[in-house]
Chain A
């Protein structure tokens, strides 16, 4: 769990268009997050923060994808992510 429950991030890239545009701010809630399909989540991947939408849950982990599928590298490429990679859930954008 992170020290502060609310984090501000600034979006970089096009994979979440049209909902999230590059340069746009998002607020992420990091404490006691209950995840469900359709949630926008911030997570860590290879030391970098990424933002995608939860597409499904399965035995292998959480499958995330970009809204702009043709311009997204996501679970279709790097596979499902684990719960402990999740930074938090986007609560405002």
Chain B
């Protein structure tokens, strides 16, 4: 084996990547916005289902719909958090922070809102999430100009 180790050094080599992240440079806040809007829609639909609930319509279909809505809300709140964090960690640079000094705080509050929306069925919190993600998207779009 030592001979192979020695001989192999005579072959030309190129790097082969086993990287954890390809710097593809493709970033878009739209995915986070869609996820936030989905969270809001699910909260509204869960509230509608709740306001129309009665012993007469407490059937299997309604319960099934409720579980599906909660599941979609949970998944999209998580997706929203992930998409916002990708923008934060991979896209935004120091020069963006100089221009938008509130960005760190905005991202922090937005990701907290994602968690709040997982925990609760609260239309006010869901609307706050949509607004916060829209603000991040607005900053993103300004950095592209």
Chain A interfacial positions (CB closer than 8 Å to B)? 6-16, 20, 22, 25-27, 42, 45-46, 48-52, 66, 71-73, 78, 92
A46 CA to B41 CA, complexed, in Å: 37
B18 touching A20, Cβ below 8 Å: yes
Chain B interfacial positions (CB closer than 8 Å to A)? 4, 8, 11-22, 24
Total cross-chain contacts (CB, 8 A): 72
Ranked nearest first, the 9 interchain pairs of A and B with the lowest CB-CB distance are: A9-B16, A13-B19, A8-B11, A13-B18, A71-B20, A15-B18, A16-B18, A8-B13, A49-B16
The interface residues of chain A lying within 8 Å CB-to-CB of B12 are: 8
B13 touching A11, Cβ below 8 Å: no
The interface residues of chain B lying within 8 Å CB-to-CB of A51 are: 16-18
Assuming the A-B contacts A8-B8, A46-B24, are A66 and B18 also in contact, with contact meaning beta carbons closer than 8 angstroms in the complex? yes
A78 CA to B15 CA, complexed, in Å: 20
A14 CA to B17 CA, complexed, in Å: 9
Most buried by A among B11, B16, B20: B16
**A92 partner, pick from B4, B17, B21, beta carbons under 8 A:** B4
B20 touching A25, Cβ below 8 Å: no
